[in-house]
């Protein structure tokens, strides 16, 4: 397809000698206009150049650009330029039917008006004429191959300054300008879209920060995301939470996240490991004692419940509490009151209790090693933390985090981790979970003498958890289900699915998987 310049030359010259003396100058002017359009991205600069170039071949004192606004069915005048002394105001917007530009946009035909004072059918255009002293105009459509943009008007302060050959010439100028306007609008739309996407990204990042403010809980696996979603759901309440999971899986971090996301975040977070304190002293640690309450009680002691007043008490390894002490713990959970050892005075507290255990409390209840009423009181909202072997996607993030942490502490410049080593770390079972991984990475940093993390892979070749005998019934059940799921390539339903092999209904298996924290690796 011929360019507007070539079309103009062929039209006016009919392929032979020019029929207009001004044709060579107009041809050069079109070339200059095309060059200006290629040079300028700013439409205002383009308009100023047009008011400078066009008077060489056609009388132009004013140039106006009106773009169609489809949302309001109006013509918005983006800019107005002049080469005569005047005070210009752009940015006004009028209904399509009240302006010459709107008429040209609708008809897609150029319009020559020799006396604008007589253009009564376009009142807004007449107002502009009176304001700037314009007498005659030639307006042409701004249209590309794909869309109708608006119209561009060329005007003079004198009457009857435009002829039919001027209309033809300015129509070709309009075609060139339309391309420039289309590119400028596309650039502006892209810039607005980028800004919108940037704002949306910022919003999403802020939303994620607000929703998952979990300090050192690191990971992006689906299994972990489900846990964090549960944490966020229950954090705002005062309900008791029971965190279930293997040793070293990060139960304490989840407990701290619950506290930090709760309304009690400004109050104390008190931790007590029930398995680390002798049974005879655990009651005193929980409830405190008066002076002389027992041999060695030489002073009054405040218990953990009192310390956690209006805050959170985290009872780790709650499955190790004796049956006798379980009765007193149940009373505190139900009534929020207790007595110190050696005292008859009842103390009331406001404490949110979060408990955690790596033991199968349900099995312990059946074996009468744990009170059922306490179990159900603790299990108001259970959260199961998945073992690291079910979060293989999180291992690279954790390895980098721990490597950076210990490299800074030891003043070592660890910059890279071999991909083969990372793959080996992901394939290992990690029976000690995150705690084992962290200790392993710390050892790797100690052994590293270059910027590359030295990973002692040989230490990872001992039997993984899947090859070790399970320590609890829950572990055995999880391992058996996982083995079946891997064999069926994680197909749950159907005659060849895991549910059929296990002799279960599909829905029952899905419920069991959710309870055990089993999720398909991403």
Residues 19 and 29 in one domain: yes
394 vs 253: CA distance, rounded Å? 16
Residues 450 and 475 in one domain: no
Does 22 have pLDDT greater than 60? no
- Of all residues in the chain, the percent with pLDDT exceeding 90 is 25
pLDDT of residue 443: 92
Residues 301 and 432 in one domain: no
The kind and range of the H/E element at 102 are helix 100-107
For 253-271, what is the mean pLDDT?
Answer: 90
Count of C-beta atoms within a 10 Å radius of residue 340? 22
Cβ contact 469:475 at 8 Å: no
Question: What's the domain range around 247?
Answer: 222-384
Structural domain includes residue 207: no
Does 4 have pLDDT greater than 70? no
CATH number at residue 10: 3.30.450.40
Residues 358 and 452 in one domain: no
Does 316 have pLDDT greater than 90? yes
CATH number at residue 439: 1.10.8.60
Query: Of residues 80 and 477, which shows the higher confidence score?
Result: 477
* Residue 368 backbone zone (phi > 0: left; psi -120 to 50: alpha; other: beta): left
* pLDDT tens column, 488-515: 878 888 777 888 888 888 888 888 887 7
Query: Of residues 189 and 389, which shows the higher confidence score?
Result: 389
pLDDT of residue 145: 87
Query: Of residues 521 and 359, which shows the higher confidence score?
Result: 359
* Placement of tokens 């010459």 in the chain: 100
* pLDDT tens column, 322-339: 999 999 999 999 999 998
Of 120-134, 157-171, 259-273, the least confident: 120-134
Residues 358 and 233 in one domain: yes
Cβ contact 337:347 at 8 Å: yes
pLDDT of residue 373: 94
Does 257 have pLDDT greater than 80? yes
Query: Of residues 55 and 130, which shows the higher confidence score?
Result: 55
Give alpha helix (H) positions in 261-322. 279-287, 304-307
Query: Of residues 300 and 21, which shows the higher confidence score?
Result: 300
Structural domain includes residue 318: yes
Residues 440 and 310 in one domain: no
pLDDT of residue 513: 83
Mean pLDDT of the chain: 82
Structural domain includes residue 431: yes
pTM over 0.75: no
Number of structural domains found in the chain: 4
Structural domain includes residue 290: yes
Residues 367 and 503 in one domain: no
Structural domain includes residue 227: yes
Structural domain includes residue 180: yes
Strand 241-244 and strand 381-384: the pairing is: parallel
CATH number at residue 504: 1.10.10
Of 67-81, 94-108, 205-219, 438-452, the least confident: 205-219
Residues 39 and 184 in one domain: yes
CATH number at residue 255: 3.40.50.300
For 452-474, what is the mean pLDDT?
Answer: 66
Does 6 have pLDDT greater than 70? no
Residues 449 and 481 in one domain: no
pLDDT of residue 459: 81
Residues 475 and 458 in one domain: no
Structural domain includes residue 199: no
Cβ contact 213:260 at 8 Å: yes
Cβ contact 450:413 at 8 Å: no
Helix (H, G, I), strand (E, B) or coil at 67: strand
pLDDT of residue 88: 63
For 36-52, what is the mean pLDDT?
Answer: 75
Does 212 have pLDDT greater than 50? no
Asked which of 326, 357, 384 is the last residue of a domain, the reply is 384
pLDDT of residue 126: 75
Closest CA to 29 of 9, 13, 45: 9
pLDDT of residue 197: 63
pLDDT of residue 13: 47
Structural domain includes residue 214: no
104 vs 109: CA distance, rounded Å? 6
Residues 367 and 267 in one domain: yes
pLDDT of residue 211: 43
Residues 461 and 476 in one domain: no
Question: CB under 8 Å to 32, separation ≥6 — which residues?
Answer: 53
431 vs 412: CA distance, rounded Å? 28
């Amino acid at each position: 397809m011929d360019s507007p310049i070539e079309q103009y030359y062929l039209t006016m010259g009919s392929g032979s000698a020019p029929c207009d003396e001004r044709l060579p100058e107009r041809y050069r002017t079109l070339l200059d206009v095309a060059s200006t359009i290629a040079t300028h991205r700013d439409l205002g600069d383009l308009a100023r150049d047009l008011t400078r170039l066009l008077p060489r071949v056609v009388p132009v004192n004013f140039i106006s650009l009106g773009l169609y606004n489809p949302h309001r069915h109006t013509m918005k005048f983006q800019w107005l330029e002049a080469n005569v002394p005047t005070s210009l105001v752009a940015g006004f917007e009028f209904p399509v039917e009240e302006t010459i530009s709107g008429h040209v946009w609708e008809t897609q035909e150029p319009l020559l008006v020799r006396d604008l004072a007589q253009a009564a059918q376009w009142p807004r255009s007449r107002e502009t004429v009176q304001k700037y002293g314009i007498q005659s105009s030639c307006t042409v459509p701004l249209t590309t191959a794909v869309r109708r943009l608006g119209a561009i008007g060329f005007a003079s302060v004198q009457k009857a300054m435009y002829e039919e050959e001027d209309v033809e010439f300015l129509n070709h100028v309009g075609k060139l300008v339309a391309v420039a306007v289309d590119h400028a609008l596309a650039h502006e739309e892209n810039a607005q879209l980028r800004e919108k996407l940037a704002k949306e990204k910022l919003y999403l990042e802020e939303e994620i920060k607000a929703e998952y403010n979990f300090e050192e809980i690191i990971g992006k696996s689906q299994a972990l995301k489900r846990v964090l979603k549960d944490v966020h759901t229950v954090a705002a309440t005062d309900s008791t939470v029971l965190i279930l999971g293997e040793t070293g899986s990060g139960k304490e971090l989840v407990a701290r996240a619950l506290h930090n996301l709760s309304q009690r975040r400004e109050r104390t977070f008190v931790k007590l490991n029930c398995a680390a304190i002798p049974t005879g002293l655990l009651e005193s640690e929980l409830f405190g004692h008066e002076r002389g309450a027992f041999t060695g009680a030489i002073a009054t002691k405040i218990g953990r419940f009192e310390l956690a007043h209006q805050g959170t008490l985290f009872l780790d390894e709650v499955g190790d509490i004796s049956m006798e002490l379980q009765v007193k713990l149940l009373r505190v959970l139900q009534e929020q009151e207790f007595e110190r050892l050696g005292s008859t005075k009842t103390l009331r507290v406001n404490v949110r209790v979060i408990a955690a255990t790596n033991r199968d409390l349900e099995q312990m209840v059946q074996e009468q090693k744990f009170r059922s009423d306490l179990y159900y009181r603790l299990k108001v909202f259970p959260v199961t933390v998945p073992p690291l072997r079910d979060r293989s996607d999180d291992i690279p993030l954790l390895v980098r985090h721990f490597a950076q942490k210990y490299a800074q502490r030891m003043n070592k410049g660890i910059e890279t981790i071999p991909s083969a080593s990372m793959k080996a770390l992901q394939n290992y079972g990690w029976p000690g979970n995150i705690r084992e991984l962290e200790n392993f990475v710390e050892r790797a940093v100690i052994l590293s003498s270059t910027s590359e993390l030295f990973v002692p892979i040989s230490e990872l070749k001992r039997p993984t958890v899947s090859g070790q005998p399970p320590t609890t019934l829950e572990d055995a059940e999880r391992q058996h289900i996982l083995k079946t799921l891997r064999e069926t390539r994680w197909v749950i339903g159907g005659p060849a699915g895991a549910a059929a092999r296990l002799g279960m209904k599909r829905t029952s298996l899905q419920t069991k998987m959710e309870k055990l924290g089993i999720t398909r690796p991403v």
